[in-house]
Structure 1
């Protein structure tokens, strides 16, 4: 087995709360090695009462493989089940290309700038 399979995750995840949104910021590589990092960071979010919005700030994601995309789909499904709107902010570069190539661009609410996604949550009742 390749040593690449045991490589440490190059993903940093931070979170915060806005008025009616949970904000999760990802920085680095969203790949097979990072899925568990993101999943672990989201565990307490799923234990909170559902918020109207969950924003994933992807502006600093430099790479995303099929496992990373699969995890984003799982987050979207979990949000739908909770009645939470998932917004992807900072979608440009790598993430814009991956969403386009996979045909998932229209499956998500996508914003080129994180601030545009955040503004939507503030304007919501």
Structure 2
């Protein structure tokens, strides 16, 4: 086995606020090893008063497995319970294929460009 096969995947998450939205930018691989990293960032967001929108910028996600998709579904459910609209921005390439293959493309509000998701959030609920 090559050393790369044993390496843990990497996920970088940054967050910020933009008027009506909390924005999380994900970069790297969204898989079983990365789920705790994402949950750690989300834990802080769930402690905030609910915002009208949560935008996940997935434009730099290079890989997503079933655990990553399960986590996105959990985020969607948590957002619904809080009255927050979840928008997925930057959905192209890998993420577009995974959402299509899993049949979840229409379960989420998906935007090919992050800017389009942000524009919707800035316009308001």
TM-score by length of 1: 0.94
What residue in structure 1 maps to residue 35 of structure 2? Answer: 35
Unaligned runs of 5+ in 1: none
Who is 1:98 aligned against?
A: 98
Aligned residue in 2 for 1:54: 54
Q: Tell me how large the CA RMSD over aligned residues is.
A: 1.6
How do residues 66-77 of structure 1 correspond to structure 2 at under 5 angstroms? 66-77=66-77
What are the ranges of 5 or more consecutive residues in structure 2 without an aligned counterpart? none
Offset, 1:53:
0.1
The Cα offsets for residues 60-110 of structure 1, whole Å up to 9 and x where unpaired, read as 000000000000000000000000000000000000000000000000000
TM-score (norm 2): 0.94
CA distance in 1 between partners of 2:99 and 2:19 (Å)? 28
Alignment correspondent of 1:10: 10
**How far is the alpha carbon of 1:13 from its aligned partner?**
0.4
Residue 123 of structure 1 deviates from its aligned partner by: 1.2
Are positions 1:118 and 2:114 aligned together?
Answer: no
Count of matched residue positions in the alignment of Structure 1 and Structure 2: 123
Q: Contact 1:30/1:63 (CA < 8 Å) preserved in 2?
A: yes
Q: Secondary structure at the match of 1:60?
A: strand
Q: CA deviation at 1:33?
A: 0.3
Question: Is contact 1:7-1:33 (8 Å) kept?
Answer: no
